Structure 1
């Protein structure tokens, strides 16, 4: 008896990878490196907010704005990949309980990596006097929550995700807690905040779990789309991307709900446009999510089935996201130290302290040099990622490689 076409397609998806996921993930990771190079090397990064329309320039603003695409796309695709991973493991006979435990372990490993190897890459501080909870923290926490929620029907998970995305902005109206413990717990789940627990220990919670969990849950349910035949899923992804952008446009024009900062007419049309697209990432507002996920869905649709030199290169990065993420932070930080030394500073001149990457106040390079350093780092990472991808593929028996 022949299998039906949908079942056959699902088995094919369960057995392999969806190329466009690796391509898009690779694209946003390449873009992500630009933001981190700008943060640590640009001459005005310590004193100028690139999103402050009173002081920024269009070039600096757009250099920062384009990198807003990275975190929501990465979190969304983490959910999608988790769904497809569970499907693959189920197709090989793994039990539901074993699959959920695998997701739980994956989340715990990511949290441990964030608190150790990743945070050391941020600060190069062996004493760990500063801890910054960023995207790896929220993905790890999201996987842990998802390991418990994955037993629910996909439709239910999608509804929960949409409720979070559309409603969590209302939680910004909750006044800050006076008790530091309560404030810290609330922050981990719902908003960003800085905590100085002692003169030698500071925590910046920059990626609250629940707002980003909404994006991950929608991405998890979106994994079902990737089981459909390619032409069908391309149309669906493109249509959903356009719908997301259309809803963003409507809500942004209404200018009443969906973002912490309403847009306003500025000194010229360029800055007015910048104000219109200047959406809030910390935490991710409804409009930020609609705009960035909408763009990501369009790119997923366009790159699905596209095989060319560019997609092949991006796939190399996209297949080893955690390896790339960790390694690129170390290279960016080392580049900042090298820049400082070349500009006449000594190692003793590198400052220390809470939320201090160690860059002297007078050190820095122009935006043009930032772009050159970014391209150089991305090129250096290519053969390393290609080697690691091959090594990981050749050694499935090494359990640790499944997490990095």
Structure 2
């Protein structure tokens, strides 16, 4: 029964993360804003928190990937798990630079987007080697990346080259005069460390439920408290300090919460992973009744990811051409907004809910198909 609850909690949290991820991507296509939603000088609290809540997605998605790797290893052993991680990671990188990059653009634009799936794929390949090390060595690797990587921020000056950018600097890099190039959206440091932490977290998930839940709560609270202290003193942990805003105390709060994601700062990870651990504990305590949507999405994260971008993109194109005659876009050299276009939170949330219903139907069909395949194999 404990194992069942544990798996439910991981699937439910992953399902919640996926739903929030869809919100962010629907915003990209259905209601892009002429300002960054995190830009405290231009945003509103509604736009800010619509974007901010989706910050939970990447850290928890990658953390849980590491945890799932540990739990799978308990069944198959280290050698088989190492092989699985390496091959699965390579497959994810290939998917990122082919199908997923094309889905974002739906054109022959020769730009490769290196985003969260690339970061997960490479992190899996690295984890394939790390799992053969003792836990203390894995912890040092993770600690070094997550806690110390902001020391590299001062090196982000000028053209550091693609190799460095892929590790710690978000930027576009042309490969050829014809326009081929890569946009590094998710530098690998500290995402590799986040997955390593998730792997270590797996050790807690096989412990007695009371002990595990205490550790999740105390660690989650500790992450939040450390975030509040470090952010308050503006000493270390994020490249952009917060400041008092002329627009009032609400916008000062937004400045306090506005954190670097590309790459994710130490403070960004503390305030996303901390609440994530509390949610994981909460999902363990609450019986999995009435949340079949979370469980369904959480069981099929890759299928969801592969289909949700083209579905959102195609539907947004159809809506935009019907409404304004052409598509607004943030993905070119300059943002473009057709005449008459205005960003709308109402349009964003209605589109998000409608698309989630469509994605639920697709995932339900896929789940039934997978269950039938398993029955045939038996």
Pairing partner for 2:268 from 272, 277, 288: 288
Aligned counterpart, 1:190: 168
CA distance in 2, matches of 1:155, 1:394: 42
CA distance in 2, matches of 1:142, 1:397: 33
Pairing partner for 2:56 from 35, 59, 69: 69
Is 1:300 aligned to residue 289 of structure 2?
A: no
Pairing partner for 2:234 from 249, 255, 267: 255
Alpha-carbon spacing, 1:262–1:30, altered in 2? closer, same or farther (3 Å): same
CA distance in 2, matches of 1:376, 1:124: 21
Q: CA deviation at 1:189?
A: 1.4
Aligned counterpart, 2:23: 34
CA distance in 1, matches of 2:281, 2:244: 34
Is 1:151 aligned to residue 122 of structure 2?
A: no
Aligned counterpart, 2:323: 343
Aligned counterpart, 2:121: 140
- Does structure 1 retain, via aligned residues, the 8 Å contact 2:119–2:187? yes
Is 1:24 aligned to residue 17 of structure 2?
A: no
TM value normalised by structure 2: 0.92
Q: CA deviation at 1:74?
A: 0.4
Aligned counterpart, 1:325: 305
> In the TM superposition, what whole-angstrom CA distance separates every residue of 1:235-273 from its partner, at most 9, and x where no partner exists?
211111001101101111111110011111113121111
CA distance in 2, matches of 1:279, 1:344: 34
Tell me, what secondary structure is at the counterpart of 1:64?
helix
CA distance in 1, matches of 2:225, 2:331: 45
CA distance in 1, matches of 2:111, 2:253: 37
Tell me, what secondary structure is at the counterpart of 2:161?
helix
Q: CA deviation at 1:316?
A: 0.6
CA distance in 2, matches of 1:353, 1:377: 21
- Does structure 2 retain, via aligned residues, the 8 Å contact 1:352–1:358? yes
CA distance in 1, matches of 2:68, 2:46: 34
Q: CA deviation at 1:310?
A: 4.5
> In the TM superposition, what whole-angstrom CA distance separates every residue of 1:137-170 from its partner, at most 9, and x where no partner exists?
0000000011111100122212210121000011
- Does structure 1 retain, via aligned residues, the 8 Å contact 2:142–2:192? yes
CA distance in 1, matches of 2:138, 2:219: 18
Is 1:84 aligned to residue 71 of structure 2?
A: yes
Tell me, what secondary structure is at the counterpart of 2:236?
coil
Alpha-carbon spacing, 1:203–1:27, altered in 2? closer, same or farther (3 Å): same
Q: CA deviation at 1:208?
A: 0.9
Uncovered stretches (5+) of structure 1, i.e. residues with no partner: 1-8, 91-95, 400-404
Aligned counterpart, 1:173: 154
- Does structure 1 retain, via aligned residues, the 8 Å contact 2:189–2:263? no
> In the TM superposition, what whole-angstrom CA distance separates every residue of 1:280-302 from its partner, at most 9, and x where no partner exists?
11100000000000010010011
Aligned counterpart, 1:214: 193
- Does structure 1 retain, via aligned residues, the 8 Å contact 2:324–2:338? no
CA distance in 2, matches of 1:353, 1:293: 29
Alpha-carbon spacing, 1:361–1:137, altered in 2? closer, same or farther (3 Å): farther
Aligned counterpart, 1:55: 42
CA distance in 2, matches of 1:173, 1:371: 38
CA distance in 2, matches of 1:109, 1:175: 30
CA distance in 2, matches of 1:102, 1:374: 34
Alpha-carbon spacing, 1:110–1:398, altered in 2? closer, same or farther (3 Å): farther
CA distance in 2, matches of 1:239, 1:151: 28
> In the TM superposition, what whole-angstrom CA distance separates every residue of 1:319-339 from its partner, at most 9, and x where no partner exists?
000111111111110121011
CA distance in 2, matches of 1:303, 1:123: 36
Tell me, what secondary structure is at the counterpart of 1:209?
coil
Aligned counterpart, 2:87: 105
- Does structure 2 retain, via aligned residues, the 8 Å contact 1:40–1:359? no
Number of residues of Structure 1 aligned to a counterpart in Structure 2: 375
CA distance in 2, matches of 1:318, 1:293: 18
> In the TM superposition, what whole-angstrom CA distance separates every residue of 1:353-394 from its partner, at most 9, and x where no partner exists?
856899757545511111000011111111221221232244
Tell me, what secondary structure is at the counterpart of 1:342?
helix
